[in-house]
Structure 1
Amino acid sequence: MSFKSNNAKILDRSNSKGETTLTMYPTINETKLLIKELVSIPSPSGNTKEVIQFVKNLLDDLGVTTKTNRKGGLIATVPGKDNAHHRMLTAHVDTLGAMVKEIKPNGRLKLDLIGGFRYNATEGEYCTIETAQGTTYTGTILMHQTSVHVYKDAGSAERNQENMEVRIDAKVENDQDVRALGMEVGDFVSFDPRVELTDNGFIKSRHLDDKASVAMLIQLLRRIKEENITLPYTTHFLISNNEEIGYGGNSNISPETVEYLAVDMGAMGDGQRTDEYTVSICAKDGSGPYHYGLRKQLVHLCETNNIPYKVDIYPYYASDASAAIHAGHDVIHGLIGPGIDASHAYERTHEESLLQTEKLLFNYVQSALVE
């Protein structure tokens, strides 16, 4: 299935009271289908060439100028009325994953994790191993002590690197058999996204962090191009590819850039305000507070455009925007995104959260810079 534009335009409609309303463009179903395609392309940090090319092809079709940086990220630029002051928006296309740490004597694989998650979040998950030659094999991530008929501690044993392993879907009995298939230490392992779009608006999948945001930036660029919208400032869109390991968006920021907005997931859980039906605006995360003026500007845009939102703090979190600040860039930084449940595991959000995030993005890129 390939994502295609239907060249739909935003439509004026009247409700029963005679008030004019706007139908969101592109439709949220288009966004969800694009997310489905994106999460289905394996792209653990360090191995993102295929998905970057997929995004580039879409933007090329729109006539959006792009370039690839040396780290492999993609930068799209839309000229604006003011070329002396720039904006940058980012979303990251790299995901959690793993590498082969060791080929065990029993023919199973020991993993080394890519990104910040826990082994229990992948127990029982299907995966794909890609060899350096490009051959792929499927497998399942399991506890070594999985069988309750054999192991007394099947339930209590710690889910860690020593106890968890990949069962390869191939006839292998030892490490020599595995190496004969072309597998070796350092091969990338990606997790099956198990993406599902429900009839009542939910989307469940691994890697909604942050491919949901990548899809929304693509849709925003589509709308800008197809409706011939002139932005007030030259605006760069960075599709970063190393965010999960901390440095995806910390370079290639033009000296004219004043504002830097990361579009990433809103973290949900105990004590959090973020939900799956509004746009989340981050006030602070593990890196510290985001720019107060930009945060208030984002809230103002929500309130004046009837966009449901939640302001929140994400305690164990960092973003491309915070990476840029830590790298020393003199920019105003902010962070917004859809609410994502069960982050860094089997994630879920709702089309309402995607819709409100898209609305805020559309209004933000046409607003004035923070003074």
Structure 2
Amino acid sequence: MKKLSIDADYLKATLLELLAIPSPSGLTDEIVHYAVGKLQDLGIESELTRRGTIRALMKGTQSAPDRAIVAHLDTLGAMVSEIKDNGRCALSPIGTWSSRFAEGARVSVFTEHGRYRGTILPLLSSGHAFNEAIDTQPVAWSQLELRIDEDVTTAIDLRNIGVQVGDFVAVDPQPEILDNGYVVSRHIDNKGAVAAFFAALKAVKASDVVLPLDCHPVFTLTEEVGSGATAVLHEDVSEVIGIDVAPSAAGQETKEYGVTIPMKDSAGPHDYHLTRHMISLCRQFEIPFQRDVFKFYHSDAGSAVMAGHDVRTALLCVGTDSTHGYERTHMRALISLAELLVLYMQSPSVLARDKNTRSGIEGFSHQLPEKDLQPINQELPNPIEWFTKHEKE
């Protein structure tokens, strides 16, 4: 295995290109075209499902079992839910995010007749008109409205320019990449990880490394609304790596550098062996990392297991402050993630036994060493003796 150099300029350019394409869940066709074009530029074959999930292929020396690395292209957003008498629109969120982060956002509204620009505002938005009442109104989507930058003051005006219930609203990312390496933008979830993924793929394609297993880069379109990688994995996939953002906040171990390796999220613990394989790669190749546990979090990896796929999962994340808000990460985190993905693609299957979808107990893994199985209470039977006797029989 080799720790390959990551093209930071390519990563930055790809991130800005991704951020420039609106892609709230349900409005993702254009970013699919972009992602397939990037894969074609790298000489990577891909195919699309009916709705546009991308399944690509990096050939290895072995085709089964193989592995999938999954990132989502969709972002948070909103949808027009009501045409209001005052010429403004009520909104329903796409994805799970707080209305407090929508206040003041500049947006694009996509109608059947074209795009309009606007701002999401609280119902009471002028201190000159409402004084301290603006500070006491509740935080809720019902307390927001969309002001469209056109001559519209009634519901009829809105309908006349083509605004309808169900129109998509995409929030401007407003990205900044600072000289000190900080990246500040909306939608770093998940366009930061996607950009790092493309940089990793570029590094592998530009090198002479040989992959031991077929690797399937997969780009999903509905992670923010819960489905994600539920029905897109190839039959031979035994390992699924989700790549996403990690919340940097009080009570979390995540930092805005290195790679965050979650041990558990709302879908339960990630695979013991695959997760520790990632930790081992970080230690061996001196990639900074943190372990973490996420309390309110789901991912493509979790979606795959919840859908019934019998696969090992791990999650690799970019430490991000204010997730699902106005987000911030650092180039060090993005590059570290790309470096780890490159190493993982070069590594063997975490357990050779996984080439079989069904087999007997012979060769099945152990998680606990013998010393940890010695009974603490002497009245309990010794499981080591049972294992030894059973194996002889």
The verdict on a shared fold, with TM-score over 0.5 as the criterion, is yes
Matches of residues 272-287 of structure 1 in structure 2 within 5 Å? 272-287=252-267
Query: In the TM superposition, what is the alpha-carbon distance from 1:305 to its structure 2 partner?
Result: 0.3
- Write out per-residue CA displacement over residues 315-357 of structure 1, whole angstroms, 9 at most, x where no aligned residue: 1001000000000000000101110110000000001111111
- Write out per-residue CA displacement over residues 22-67 of structure 1, whole angstroms, 9 at most, x where no aligned residue: 7x63322321221111011100000000011011111112221111
Cα separation, 1, equivalents of 2:18 and 2:285: 29
1:313 to 2:298 alignment: no
- Write out per-residue CA displacement over residues 51-102 of structure 1, whole angstroms, 9 at most, x where no aligned residue: 1101111111222111111232111111110112110001101000000000
- 8 Å Cα contact 1:32/1:203 also seen in 2: no
Matches of residues 42-81 of structure 1 in structure 2 within 5 Å? 42-81=22-61
Cα separation, 2, equivalents of 1:159 and 1:71: 35
1:332 to 2:316 alignment: no
Query: In the TM superposition, what is the alpha-carbon distance from 1:228 to its structure 2 partner?
Result: 4.3
Which of 155, 177, 182 is the matching residue for 1:202? 182
1:42 alignment partner AA: P
1:150 to 2:129 alignment: yes
TM-score (norm 1): 0.92
Query: In the TM superposition, what is the alpha-carbon distance from 1:266 to its structure 2 partner?
Result: 1.4
Cα separation, 1, equivalents of 2:272 and 2:239: 12
- 8 Å Cα contact 1:39/1:193 also seen in 2: yes
1:300 to 2:280 alignment: yes
The SS at the match of 2:166 is: coil
Instruction: Name which of structure 1's ranges 94-103 and 266-275 shifts more when overlaid on structure 2.
Output: 266-275
Which of 109, 113, 133 is the matching residue for 2:93? 113
Instruction: Name which of structure 1's ranges 252-261 and 342-351 shifts more when overlaid on structure 2.
Output: 252-261
Cα separation, 2, equivalents of 1:239 and 1:228: 25
Matches of residues 119-158 of structure 1 in structure 2 within 5 Å? 119-133=99-113, 135-151=114-130, 152-158=132-138
Q: CA-atom RMSD, angstroms?
A: 1.3
Partner of 1:11: none
Matches of residues 214-253 of structure 1 in structure 2 within 5 Å? 214-253=194-233
The SS at the match of 2:135 is: coil
Cα separation, 1, equivalents of 2:256 and 2:65: 34
Larger radius of gyration: 2
Query: In the TM superposition, what is the alpha-carbon distance from 1:227 to its structure 2 partner?
Result: 2.0
Q: 1:180 to 1:339 in 2, by over 3 A?
A: same
Query: In the TM superposition, what is the alpha-carbon distance from 1:281 to its structure 2 partner?
Result: 0.2
The SS at the match of 1:190 is: strand
Partner of 2:75: 95
1:288 alignment partner AA: G
The SS at the match of 2:341 is: helix
Q: Give the % identical residues.
A: 37
- Write out per-residue CA displacement over residues 239-285 of structure 1, whole angstroms, 9 at most, x where no aligned residue: 11100001111112112111000011111111111101111001001
Which of 133, 154, 168 is the matching residue for 1:174? 154
Gaps of 5+ in 2: 352-393
1:291 to 2:271 alignment: yes
TM-score (norm 2): 0.87
Instruction: Name which of structure 1's ranges 32-41 and 257-266 shifts more when overlaid on structure 2.
Output: 32-41
- 8 Å Cα contact 2:53/2:232 also seen in 1: no
Partner of 1:82: 62
